[in-house]
Amino acid sequence: MRLGGELGVNGRIHDGDFIFWFVHDISPADAREGAVRAYHLGGRHDAEFLGDVLQQHKMQKDGLSILDFASGYGRVSRHIARVVPHAQVHACDIHEDAVRFLESIGIPSFISHVDPDKFTAPQTYDVIFVLSLFTHLPRRTWGRWLKVLADCLNPGGLLVFSAHGPHIWRHWNRCPLDADGYVFHGGSEQKDLSSSDYGNTLTMPEYVINVIRANRLHLESYRSAGIGDHDVYVIRAVDDTLRLPSPEQLAHQHRLHVVAMQHYHSKIRPLVRDYRIRIKRTVKHLYRAARNRN
Ligand SMILES: C[S@@+](CC[C@H](N)C(=O)[O-])C[C@H]1O[C@@H](n2cnc3c(N)ncnc32)[C@H](O)[C@@H]1O
């Protein structure tokens, strides 16, 4: 509580806050106070990281609406409003008691859904921050969550999310990956979530970039590692002039090009050749006629 006050935030920690217990369990024994300190300073550090990203990406208008998605019990959310002044900060998590707790410490919050297609947000946002959710999602929902969250951005808005990439892979003993750079291991510290919905996920940049391209999203930056050992990706909600074609659109353009070239070689080129020959003959004829006249 005391440290929370020093940092200008509500310092309460919910008993069910598994992130706190994770920090606690890796702290030296008898060190609850140290764990509380590490929890709050870690949250402030991660909020400051978001503040830096917003500065670098020129998102500094007053009254930014920011959603801390998959916020847990507000380890980071409570610091965002301190770090990004005049922002309206909302939070969202799958756990009802986390949402209730967040509301009780003054952060407007709403409940999520395990199925991205059933998720609805009460409004759209200028910034959506997702720290350590894509690090846990199965292949089935990974790309769908990215698209659903990107669709909740205001025009020009930013989706800032972390992923486990090359830096974590070293600590996973460089385990075998699927050919597209993805791997999922079921089971996690959150025993109440099904291990097929929430486990441990590693996504190499080529996988993430393919998902981004397949959904026609616009990647504005990639940092590896960005926050701790996590990679950080920043997606901007842009209009069509900046959007790259999807792989399907590229394939379609390529097919059109092939058809056009076939048409050129089979129909147009012979005509052009014929035309050139005729011009050459006419010029020769005119030349000969001119010579005969003289
Ligand atoms: C590793 S924790 C990260 C918490 C917080 N972002 C932080 O850094 O302290 C992952 C969070 O994702 C939440 N979560 C899992 N599935 C979710 C879903 N479908 N929608 C929203 N949140 C989800 C969990 O409840 C958990 O709070």
Q: What is the dihedral of CA 200, 203, 208, 209, to 10 degrees?
A: 180
Q: Measure the CA–CA gap between 280 and 102, rounded to whole angstroms.
A: 84
Q: pTM for the full model?
A: 0.86
Give pLDDT, residue 3.
86
Ligand 1 centre from 93 Cα, in Å?
Answer: 6
Least confident of 61-65, 101-105, 233-237, 239-243: 239-243
Q: What percent of the chain has pLDDT over 70?
A: 99
Q: Is the CB of 71 under 6 A from ligand 1?
A: yes
Return the residue whose CA atom lies nearest to atom 27 of ligand 1: 72
More reliable by pLDDT, 115 or 279: 115
Q: Is the pLDDT of residue 1 over 70?
A: no
Separation in Å, CA 28 to CA 2, 240, 247: 21, 52, 50
Q: Is the pLDDT of residue 293 over 90?
A: no
Q: Is the pLDDT of residue 87 over 70?
A: yes
Ligand 1 pocket test, candidate residues 133, 135, 196, 229, most atoms within 8 A of CB: 133
Q: Is the pLDDT of residue 251 over 90?
A: no
- pLDDT tens digit string along 156-212? 999 999 999 999 999 999 999 999 999 999 988 788 899 999 999 999 999 999 999
- pLDDT tens digit string along 109-134? 999 999 999 999 999 999 999 999 99
Arithmetic mean of pLDDT, 56-81: 96
Arithmetic mean of pLDDT, 233-252: 86
Q: Is the pLDDT of residue 294 over 80?
A: no
Q: What is the pairing mode between strands 153-164 and 125-130? A: parallel
Q: Measure the CA–CA gap between 281 and 293, rounded to whole angstroms.
A: 18
Return the residue whose CA atom lies nearest to atom 13 of ligand 1: 70
Give pLDDT, residue 207.
98
